[in-house]
Amino acid sequence: MHENNQDAATTLQQLTFTLAGEEYGVDILAVREIRGWSRVTRIPQTPEHLLGVLNLRGAIVPIMDLRLRFGLERESFGDNTVVIIVAVEERLFGIVVDAVSDVVDIDPAAIKPVPDMGVVVDTRYLKGLATHVERMVMLLDVEKLMRPEDVETLDAAMPDVRDVEVAA
């Protein structure tokens, strides 16, 4: 962070994206890359929301369908479908979203707690709600998206994936 930039200290930059017609934000500091959808290598015995892994310049990155993670219906991937590569504690994983919008500055004081929305959205993956220029943005908690058991399942399957990648 630049010490002379007052705005950076007082606002949170969020990369916003759409998913099933709603707008979400993810902390820009967690984002490593945005890329178009491409096929992934499926891993057996992983939850349905984990689509597989992608070889990203030598790093094996698990890819998660955010629609399925949230219990929403899967949509066919189109031209706007993107994978946002995020880092959580130096571990990379990708989230598939409908489309990326833009980067917005959110005032931390404007963030409201997430109300219980019943079965529509699993709110445990959200940090809060913020209004930005008349738009409601749901702020994603990327650390809660990848559960420890998902990581363990992937780690157990990784030697098989590495063998496939090397043999290819």
The backbone torsions φ and ψ at residue 49, rounded to the nearest 5 degrees and listed phi first, read -70, -15
User: Residue 137: pLDDT above 80?
Assistant: yes
Cα-based distances in Å from 72 to 77, 96, 119:
14, 13, 11
Give domain status of residue 61, yes or no.
Answer: yes
Domain of residue 156, CATH code: 2.40.50.180
pLDDT confidence band for 150 (50 / 70 / 90): low
Give domain status of residue 39, yes or no.
Answer: yes
Q: Give the chain's domain count.
A: 1
SS3 content of the chain, % helix, strand, coil (to 5): 25, 40, 35
User: Residue 1: pLDDT above 70?
Assistant: no
Give domain status of residue 12, yes or no.
Answer: yes
* Percent of residues, the chain, with pLDDT higher than 90: 48
Give domain status of residue 13, yes or no.
Answer: yes
pLDDT confidence band for 132 (50 / 70 / 90): confident
**Structure tokens that stand for 87 in this block:** 């880092």
What are the pLDDT digits (tens) for 16-51?
A: 999 999 999 999 999 999 999 999 999 888 888 999
Give domain status of residue 151, yes or no.
Answer: yes
Residue-range definition of the domain harbouring residue 49: 6-167
Give domain status of residue 1, yes or no.
Answer: no
What are the pLDDT digits (tens) for 63-97?
A: 999 999 888 888 889 889 999 999 988 889 999 99
This prediction has a pTM of 0.81
Q: Which H helix or E strand runs over 160?
A: helix 148-167
